[in-house]
Amino acid sequence: MSGWKESTQADDSLDRFLETYWQLSKAIAGEIEKCNWDEVNRLLEQREDFIQREGQQFATGPTLPLNDKQRDLLRRIQALEQDNQGKLEEQMSLLTKQMQQSRRTRQAVRGYMEEGIDRTGLVSTLFNREV
């Protein structure tokens, strides 16, 4: 009977761990949707701290088979993590494109201004070109 009790306690503990991890991951997903990067970073740090603090018992304890509820929750966590990763990569791609466009714009403006200064000595032709 003692082994069953330990198994049930371990299941309950793992259930709580997975549920908390799931809730943190959903919160991260919500903030990714809002592009609220400060909150995303805060939640990622909170989740990392949680894993370091609470996950140690699972890393050092005996490995028990997962029940159906735990397997289902793990599948949902994995799917959400993949979705979050895809959204983050998409946002990173958009930011990279924006930075490249901004860099090209600055180079063009600098070129127009230098050309105007060279031509007149004082006035840029930037506004004459409707840029």
Is 113 part of a structural domain of the chain?
A: no
Is 59 part of a structural domain of the chain?
A: yes
Nearest to 112 by CA among 95, 94, 131: 131
- pLDDT score at 4: 47
| Domain, as residue range, for 60 | 2-100
User: How far, in Å, CA of 43 to CA of 90, rounded?
Assistant: 19
Question: What confidence category does residue 76 fall into, taking pLDDT thresholds of 50, 70 and 90?
Answer: very high
Is 126 part of a structural domain of the chain?
A: no
Q: How many domains does the chain have?
A: 1
Taken in order 71, 72, 73, 75, is the CA torsion positive or negative? positive
pLDDT digits over 14-67, tens only? Answer: 899 999 999 999 999 999 999 999 999 999 999 999 999 988 877 777 777 889
Between 2-6, 23-27, 98-102, the lowest mean confidence (pLDDT) is in 2-6
Is 82 part of a structural domain of the chain?
A: yes
Is 120 part of a structural domain of the chain?
A: no
Is the pLDDT assigned to residue 128 strictly greater than 80? no
Cα end-to-end span (Å), the chain? 81
Percentage of the residues of the chain whose pLDDT score is greater than 70: 78
Question: What confidence category does residue 10 fall into, taking pLDDT thresholds of 50, 70 and 90?
Answer: low
Q: Which amino acid is at 35?
A: C
Is 106 part of a structural domain of the chain?
A: no
Q: Which position has the higher pLDDT, 73 or 55? A: 73
Is 112 part of a structural domain of the chain?
A: no
Is 68 part of a structural domain of the chain?
A: yes
